[in-house]
Chain A
C-alpha cells in the first residue's frame, strides 16, 4: 500500500501495512515514510529509523572437541528523534507498524512532543529511491555462501590439531570463530532510504603454555568483511606456527623493568596506539564532551611532521569496511593528519549538528539498541620513508613491542596499552623477551614523539568499544618508533 500525502492522523489505525519482518525491501517504504511524516508533523526537526536483522553464529574448539556452537538470531529497530540539538533514541524488538509507531510516540513524548491530533494531515516523507547496496553489490547470497556448521567444526578441529603439533608445553588450545551477518535499513525524514548487508567474520587461536610456574598465553585473531569464503581459506598453519613461536618466546621471559624507554612498535595491530591515543580524540563525540585536547586545533600541528594518518571505510574486505554507515551515508576516505597537521574530524549526524564538522560517513553502532555515534572504521598511520632496520639501528636501549594487547584512553587524554609480546633492544638488536609491559602516556605528547615510520604498512582486525557499543574496526601502521614513553612493569 503506497503512502498518501493526504493521510489523516485518525486513519492510521486502519492502515494495513504488511512489510515483511524477514526482509528489508521496497515494501518498507510506505510504513516508514508515513511514520517519518508523523514524527515531523508532531514537531520533530528530524526523525530516523534504523532496522536491523542479524544472523550470528560462533563456534569454539577446545583441544580436540567442539565445545560451543552458538547461533543467535535477532531483529530490532531504533528510532531517533531530534528537536533542536537534543535527541532521543528508542529501540524495540517489535517491527510491526504498531510497534514502530509506539516507539516513535515514546521518543516524541520524551522530547515534549505529542502525536498529531486525529484530524491533522500527516504528510508522508518523500524517500529517495532505495539505495540498495546489498543488491547492487551482489551480497544477497553471502549468508548461504558462508561456511556451514559442519565446515566450521571441521576447520576449527583441523586448526587446533595443527596447533598441537607446533606448540610445546601446551596447557590448553582454543580455536574460535564467529560470523556476523547483518541486514540494515535506514529511513530518515531528510529522504534517506538505504539498505545494506554486512558480513564480518573472525577466527583465531588462544594458546596457553605452562612449564612449572612459567606461563605464557598468546592469542592471535584475523578478521575480514564481505568474504563468504573467509573461514575455508584461513591459513591456520601459518597462524599456528606464529602463535607457537610467540608462546615459546614468552614462556620464560623476564618481567620488564619499569622506566622510560624509546620503543619500536610492530606494524599491523601496533596501530592500536594511534587508534586509542589519537583516533578516539578525533571523533566529534569527544568534542561534544570536551574531552579532546584537539577540539580547536584543526589546521594546526598536533603530531610529528613525519606522521600522516587516515580513517576510511573502503579497503576491500578490511574488518572496518562499510559501504554505508548506520545513518545511510556512503563511506569515505578521511584524511585525519597530514605531515603532523590536523585535517579532519570524524563526524556522525549528531556530531555535525552539535560541532559543525561535516559528516564523514562515520555514524556507527553495534546494533539497533544504540544510537549511531562518530566512530572509526579502518584507521592507520601511513607508511613512511624508513626501513625497519633504520628504526632498530636508532635505538641504543629500548623495547620492541611486537604484539599489543588492548588499550584505552581516558577523559583527560591519558592512554595505556598492554603489550603481550615484547623484547629488549640493546644497541639496535633484539636481545631477550620481556613480559608484563604496559605503555602509558598522554595523547598530546605522544603524537609528537612518533618520529620514524617504516614502509611496511600492515592492517589488523580489531574491536572497538565506545558510546555506541562494540564495533568492527581495522587498526594499522607500519613499524614506528616512539622516542620515549613510560613503560609500566616490575
Chain B
C-alpha cells in the first residue's frame, strides 16, 4: 500500500490546487489469499491485493461531499477530490458531518498482531487434511461442499486537514467447514463450523473439525417437530445473529432517522429481562479483528448497551453524539451519510438468576444452534422475525435434530421473555455470548 505519509502529502497538495481547505481521508488496503478444496484437490485459489480510499470535502458553504476510489495514486486522488468537491454542492445543509472531536486523541494501545502469511501450498495442504479428516469422521458424511481457508492482512488509515493521522494494521485467518451427509432413504443433512484466528498457525483447526463433525452427525437422527410454543435455548451464535439483526435498537443514527424500535427517550427504560447485560467492545481480548479507531478516526472503546435489562447506551458517530450531547463511541462508518455499526458484542448474565436451567434436565426444549436467512425473515423496523433454524429437540440431554422448522416472534418480547443466561460464554467471530433461555416462542414444524 502507498504509505500514508505519501497519501497525506498528495492530498494536501491537490487540495491546495483545488482550493479545498477542509477534507479527510479514510483508506484501507487488503492483501489476502484464500483456498477451497474438493475431494482432496485444490478447487479454487484466490489472491487479492487491493486498496481504496474515501475522501470527504467540505466547501465554503460547509456542505460536505464524498467520493470513494480504488486509485490511490495522485491522479486517482485528484479525481476523487474533484468529484467530492462537485458532490458537496448537493450535500446536506442540516446536521452536516464534521471531524470527530476525538480524531486526534490517542488511540488504545493493543498488541500489534500482523503475522507473516503462510504459503498458499500450506493453506491447500491444511485444508485438504481438514477435508479428509471430516470425511473420515462418519460414513454418512459424503462431502464438504462449502469449505475455505483464508488469510488476510489489513492496513487502515485516517487523516484529516486538521492534522489527524492514524494507522492500524492487523492480520487474521479464517476457516470454515460445512459438510453434507447422504444416507439411503434419508434426507441429506448438513452442518458446519467457523473459526477465526490471528494467523493460520493460530487457528483452532481441530476445534473447527470436531464441531463440524459433531454437529453434522447430530443431525442424522432427525424428526419433524410439532408446531407450538416452546421453551427455546439460543446458542451464542444464534442469539448474536438476532441481536445484530435488530441493532437499530441501540443505533443512534437509526434512532435519529426514525428507523429504530427505540427513541431517544428509550434510554434508561427496561427493554429486557434483568438477567441480561450486553456490551459492544471492539477491544475485547477475544476479538481477533480488533479495531482501534472508527471511520472518522474516533478511538474505539467498550460501550454498555443493556445493563441488567435496562437500555443504557447507544452506539454513536461524531455526528449523532453531537446531536445527543454525548461523546462519540467509535462506531462510525465514513460515507456521504455516516452510518453506525457495532464491532464485537459481549453478552453476559445481568442480575443473578433465581432459577438455573440445564439441557441435561430440561424436557422438550428447542435448542437452536443457528438461525438462517435473516435477510428474508427479519423485519427490523417492525421488530418481528420468522426464521428457519438448525437445532434439536432436547429431553433430559437427549437430542433429536429438528427437520425443517422456523421460529417466529417479536424481538422485544423475546428480550423480556429471557429466563436464564448461562454463565459459560461461547467465543465467536462476532462476539462472546453464552446460551440464552427464552420462554414461549412460536415454532412452526408440522
Contacts and interface: CB of A to CB of B under 8 A. Distances in A.
Contacts of B244: none
Given A290-B142, A414-B404, A440-B388, A406 B45 contact: no
Interface in A65-108: 65-76, 85-94, 106-107
Interface residues of A, number: 75
B47 A110 contact: yes
Contacts of A487: 444
B258 A208 contact: yes
A368 to B, nearest CB: 9
A171 interface: yes
Interface in B47-70: 47-52, 65-70
| B66, B70, B83 interface centre (most CB from chain A within 10 Å) | B70
B273 to A, nearest CB: 20
A216 interface: yes
* Interchain residue pairs A-B with the least CB separation, the first 9: A488-B406, A258-B444, A68-B337, A418-B376, A70-B336, A289-B145, A74-B70, A406-B376, A438-B386
B361 to A, nearest CB: 29
Given A66-B92, A74-B70, A110-B45, A407 B373 contact: yes
A153 B83 CA distance: 16
Interface in A453-490: 486-490
Contact of A106 (B47, B93, B376, B388): B47
A258 B68 contact: no
B257 A71 contact: no
Interface in A280-334: 288-291
Contacts of B44: 86-89, 350, 371
Contacts of B388: 414, 416, 438, 440, 488
Interface string A421-456: 000000000000001111010100000000000000
Contact of B384 (A411, A413, A416, A435): A435
Contact of A489 (B66, B187, B408): B408
B90 A407 contact: no
A68 B71 contact: no
22 contacts: A65-B93, A70-B336, A72-B69, A86-B41, A88-B44, A91-B47, A94-B49, A171-B258, A217-B382, A289-B143, A405-B375, A408-B375, A416-B376, A416-B377, A418-B386, A435-B384, A438-B376, A438-B377, A438-B388, A442-B187, A488-B386, A488-B405
B120 interface: yes
B80 interface: yes
Nearest to A90: B47
B434 to A, nearest CB: 27
B37 to A, nearest CB: 10
B217 to A, nearest CB: 15
A47 interface: no
Given A73-B69, A88-B47, A93-B51, A411 B442 contact: no
Given A215-B382, A371-B44, A416-B373, A489 B444 contact: yes
B414 to A, nearest CB: 13
A115 interface: no
Given A88-B47, A93-B50, A369-B48, A73 B384 contact: no
Given A73-B69, A215-B382, A410 B190 contact: yes
B382 A216 contact: yes
B3 to A, nearest CB: 16
B90 A153 contact: yes
A150 B47 CA distance: 40
| B70, B376, B382, B384 interface centre (most CB from chain A within 10 Å) | B376
A411 B386 contact: no
B48 A412 contact: no
A411 B146 contact: yes
Nearest to A170: B258
A405 B380 CA distance: 13
A149 interface: yes
Interface of B: 38, 41-52, 65-72, 76, 79-80, 83-84, 86-87, 89-94, 120-121, 142-143, 145-146, 178, 180, 187-190, 227, 257-259, 335-337, 372-373, 375-377, 379, 381-384, 386-388, 404-406, 408-409, 442, 444
A67 B386 contact: no
A90 to B, nearest CB: 4
Contacts of A410: 190, 372
A159 B44 CA distance: 46
Given A69-B87, A217-B379, A412 B189 contact: yes
Contacts of B384: 255, 435-436
A8 interface: no
A417 interface: yes
Given A72-B68, A74-B70, A89 B383 contact: no
Contacts of B143: 289-290
A73 B47 contact: no
B148 to A, nearest CB: 11
B50 A92 contact: yes
Given A88-B45, A110-B47, A414-B388, A76 B89 contact: no
B178 A486 contact: no
Nearest to B69: A73
A45 interface: no
A44 interface: no
A436 B90 contact: no
Contacts of A110: 45, 47, 120
B375 A406 contact: yes
B180 A412 contact: yes
Interface string A252-273: 0001001100000000000000
Contact of B381 (A66, A215, A418, A438): A215
B403 to A, nearest CB: 9
B50 A91 contact: yes
Contacts of A436: 379, 384, 386, 408
A423 to B, nearest CB: 17
A438 B406 contact: yes
Interface in A387-421: 405-408, 410-414, 416-418, 420
Nearest to A172: B258
Contacts of B38: 288-289
Given A75-B70, A93-B71, A66 B90 contact: yes
Given A438-B406, A488-B444, 19 more contacts: A69-B65, A72-B67, A73-B67, A73-B69, A93-B50, A149-B90, A172-B257, A215-B383, A216-B382, A369-B50, A405-B377, A418-B373, A418-B376, A438-B388, A440-B406, A486-B404, A486-B444, A488-B388, A489-B386
A106 B31 CA distance: 13
A58 B68 CA distance: 12
